Structure formats: C-alpha cells, structure tokens
Amino acid sequence: MATSSIPYWWEAAPPAALPQVAVKRKCDVVIVGAGYTGLSAGLTLARAGRDVQIFDRQRPGEGASSRNGGIASGNLRPSYRQMVRRFGEVRATALQAEAKLAREDLADFIGREAIDCEFQIAGRFSGAATASAYEGLAREADMLRKNLAIDAYAVPRGEQRRVLGTDFYHGGMVRNDIGGLHPAKLHRGMLQAAQKAGATVHGETAVLGFRAKDAGFEIETARGMVQADHVIVGTNGYTDGVDPWLRRRLVPVRSRIIVTAPLSNNLMAELMPKRVMCSETRKLHYYYRPSPDGTRIVFGGRDGTIAGEPAWPTDNLRRALTDIFPVLDGVDITHSWFGNVAMNRDMVPRIFSRHGMRYAAGYCGSGVVWARWAGQKAAWQVLGDARGQSALDFRPPAAVPLFNGKAWFLPVVFAWLTLQDRLNHPRRPRRQAGAP
C-alpha cells in the first residue's frame, strides 16, 4: 500500500482555501500567522471589539497547527530542577503552575466554544528508557502530586502492560491531566470562532515586511500595505526571512508522524489498553497515541532531515515503532508527513516584545496547549488587560550562534543524541529477510 504524505488529520479537516476578501488599509491589529497562536490572539481581540486582520502565507492551519500529534500536554522540556538553575525558583514554580492552568484552560475553551475536536483527557504514559530514568519519573510523579495536585503515579516495569502493551521500557509514569484531540479539527473550530467574532483572516497572503511609524506600524503584505496600531507575530516554526531577528532565535526542527493502517480491536486492546497518550525519556524521544477513533497508532518523532522528502525518516520511525511493539513488524503505514516545531535555546515557550511588536513562540513541540494560551495572553497584553501577565513573558530567547534560519547543524546534533540513546537502550536486531 502506498504511503500518503498528506497528514492523516486532513482527511477529516483539510486546511481551507479561504475566499480572498479585500485587505483593509487600516486596522487596529495585524497578526502574522493563522495557526493556533494567531487565531487565539485574533479571537480574543475581535471579541474585545478590535478590528483585526490575520495574515498567513499558506492556507490557515497549513503550518504545524493541523499537522501535529494532538497531544495536549503543555509540556515544559526542562525539568523543574533545570528551570530553577536557569531562571530561579520563583519563575520555575510559576512556569509549572501556568502549564497546569493552560491545560485546564484549553479544556474549558473547547467546551465553551463547543469545538468538536474529539478531545479526551485520557492521561499520558511516559516510558523510562533506563532504570535510573524510571527513578526520575517516580520522583516527578511525587512532585506533581504534592506541588500541583496532579493525579500522577509511577508504573513499575512488571505492571507496565496494564497501561501499554510493551516490555520496551523500564516502567514509567502515568499522569491523568493530559489529553488528546484531533488537531486539525481544533484548528478549524478556532478559525470559525475567530471569523465569527469578526476577525478577518487572509489566507495565502504573506506579510513581506513591517516598519514602526510614529504611532503604530506599516505592514507590507502580498496584497498591499496596511497601517495598524499593533502587530502580533505568531509564525513559530514557519518564521521566514521577514523577521531576521526572530529567525535567529527559533530553530525550525522537522518532526514526522506516521500512521498505521487500522488494527483489529483485539490488537489495539493489547497494545493500548488504556488508550493513553505516550511519550518517553529517550533524548530523541518518540510520542504516540491511538487515533481518536481508536483504530490506529499515530507515531511521531524526529524527521532528521532539513530538506526534501527522503524515504528514510519514515523507515526510521517504522523501525522505532516496531522496537516498541514488535508485533507491528510489517504493518502497513498509510500516512507519513512532517512539519516544523520551533526550538529555542532554553526550551521554554515565550511571549515577548521588541520595538513595540509582540511575539508568542518557541513551544518546543508542545504548542497544542501553549500556542493557544500564549496567543490569548499576547492579545490581552495589547488590550492592556491584567490577564496578559504570564510567567512566559520574560527576556526574548537568545540568538542561536552561527544560525540564520538554516539549521545546518541538526544532523550532527541528531547523530550525537542517537548515539547516546543507543548506548543506553540498544535496538533489537533487525529481522533478516526470509527469516521465520
């Protein structure tokens, strides 16, 4: 069976080619990017009565917001201890508390707006790649329970199969505050809500430049100039040369997802008995989940390339999938696609301002929760609303040395991290062709 490079999610909710309406020459706020960040900001501002235009150079959603795994984790990549070291205890605690609020707020939002995106708080299992990683996860579960009242617990290796049908990990941790959704349906719901609230969304209309004026900004778009009092940039992993300053701060990293052909009910019950979202502690970790209808496994991880669409990243993911679930050796992969996530140097999502422009970006692969939250916060800041305060709002991410948009160093970084993972967690031998 041929593998499609179109995201699986687009079968139910493809990105819409919006009818082109006239670009208004003046408005209150211009937003660059119509993913979760831009739409969330636009919705908040339009509901507050502001005249908003949102521009996307692609079809809205065609960036990461309709390509992702749909795991609503609100993850912070650094551990609590690392954050304390980097930012101090007060900010580290505030970041963790805000992650919890952001997760809860997404659930409220989906309910309030009646967005049909198959959202379910199913819980998440994190698999330990080593015995010491298991100890770390057990400590984290304790911390989540004590500090944040999150229902979390360690799962020893002997009990792992009750949660996930594999012996691959050295046990793991379950936390019950994380859910899964259909990412493209969430995006579609947000687009409709923003438009209904009065925001004008211009698809396939790039922003080509901006310039501060005495009061406000002059924005050059592919369909003419616009004057606006405020600009919010929500371009994240798709940031282009229009903002070289931002581009030096966000490294676009390709992430790839493969989807299996439908599996039998019995097999799904064996492999994913609790239907939880999954992640793991390997340095180059994989993330996976059942499809919302419970028939397939949606499996994501690094793509490892920076250009073209070679076949090997798909084979690599297929192999990683069968390392975890050997029974899936030879299973058909119906879909395989990639998208960009935006990493920054300290791996903490951010809201920041420069020369009066507001930015929300750097979700490090966890934007389902963070992008909507940060977009809303950025909008409140524009409105001068106290709810715009956020632990994400501090110095802009630092520039990445020797980087100006082309992540030439990633193959080397991936090779180094892969080696470390292999040393900790050797792969099972490949099945020889013709072997029983």
Ligand X SMILES: Cc1cc2nc3c(=O)[nH]c(=O)nc-3n(C[C@H](O)[C@H](O)[C@H](O)COP(=O)(O)OP(=O)(O)OC[C@H]3O[C@@H](n4cnc5c(N)ncnc54)[C@H](O)[C@@H]3O)c2cc1C
Question: By CB under 6 A, which span of 70-78, 328-336, 382-390, 417-425 interacts with ligand X?
Answer: 70-78
Residue 385 beta carbon to ligand X: minimum distance, rounded to whole angstroms: 21
Of residues 238, 325, 352, 359, which one binds ligand X by CB under 6 A? 238
Give the residue among 252, 300, 304 at the shortest CA–CA distance from 417. 304
| Closer CB to ligand X, 170 or 183, in the complex | 183
Of residues 365, 377, 381, 392, which one binds ligand X by CB under 6 A? 365
Residue 331 beta carbon to ligand X: minimum distance, rounded to whole angstroms: 20
| Closer CB to ligand X, 170 or 187, in the complex | 187
| Closer CB to ligand X, 339 or 397, in the complex | 339
Give the residue among 160, 167, 172 at the shortest CA–CA distance from 128. 172
Residue 223 beta carbon to ligand X: minimum distance, rounded to whole angstroms: 11
* H runs (alpha helix) in 248-311: 265-271
Q: Return the SS3 of 110.
A: helix
Q: How far is CA 378 from CA 17, 78, 108, 388, 391, in A?
A: 26, 23, 19, 6, 12
Give the residue among 280, 96, 290, 80 at the shortest CA–CA distance from 179. 290
Please report which helix (H) or strand (E) contains residue 322, including its range: helix 312-324
Q: Return the SS3 of 61.
A: coil
For residue 81, the number of C-alpha atoms closer than 13 Å in the C-beta half-sphere is 4
Question: By CB under 6 A, which span of 29-37, 106-114, 141-149, 191-199 interacts with ligand X?
Answer: 29-37
| Closer CB to ligand X, 154 or 200, in the complex | 200
What is the residue type of 49? G
Question: By CB under 6 A, which span of 66-74, 266-274, 318-326, 402-410 interacts with ligand X?
Answer: 66-74
Residue 291 beta carbon to ligand X: minimum distance, rounded to whole angstroms: 13
Q: Return the SS3 of 424.
A: helix
Of residues 3, 4, 58, 192, which one binds ligand X by CB under 6 A? 58
Q: How far is CA 337 from CA 65, 66, 258, 259, 375, in A?
A: 13, 11, 7, 9, 26
313 binds ligand X (CB under 6 A): no
Beta strands at 26-32 and 52-55: parallel, antiparallel or unpaired: parallel
Of residues 8, 31, 46, 55, which one binds ligand X by CB under 6 A? 55
371 binds ligand X (CB under 6 A): yes
31 binds ligand X (CB under 6 A): no
* CA–CA dist 284, 302 (Å, integer): 7
* CA–CA dist 377, 50 (Å, integer): 15
57 binds ligand X (CB under 6 A): yes
| Closer CB to ligand X, 189 or 237, in the complex | 237
In the shown chain, the binding pattern of residues 183 to 222 toward ligand X, with x for contact by CB under 6 A and - for none, equals -----------------------xx---------------
* CA–CA dist 429, 436 (Å, integer): 14
DSSP 154: E
CB-CB neighbours of 180 under 10 Å: 27
| Closer CB to ligand X, 73 or 166, in the complex | 73
* CA–CA dist 52, 37 (Å, integer): 14
Question: By CB under 6 A, which span of 146-154, 231-239, 244-252, 305-313 interacts with ligand X?
Answer: 231-239
Residue of minimal CB distance from ligand X? Answer: 367
CB contact at 8 A, 159 and 173: no
Residue 70 beta carbon to ligand X: minimum distance, rounded to whole angstroms: 6
Residue 406 beta carbon to ligand X: minimum distance, rounded to whole angstroms: 16
The DSSP bridge partners found for residue 301 are 256
* CA–CA dist 259, 275 (Å, integer): 16
| Closer CB to ligand X, 222 or 415, in the complex | 222
Question: By CB under 6 A, which span of 157-165, 304-312, 364-372, 412-420 interacts with ligand X?
Answer: 364-372
Of residues 260, 281, 344, 366, which one binds ligand X by CB under 6 A? 366
Contact footprint for ligand X (CB under 6 A): 32-38, 55-58, 62-65, 67-71, 73, 206-207, 234-240, 242, 255, 257, 287, 300, 339-341, 363, 365-369, 371
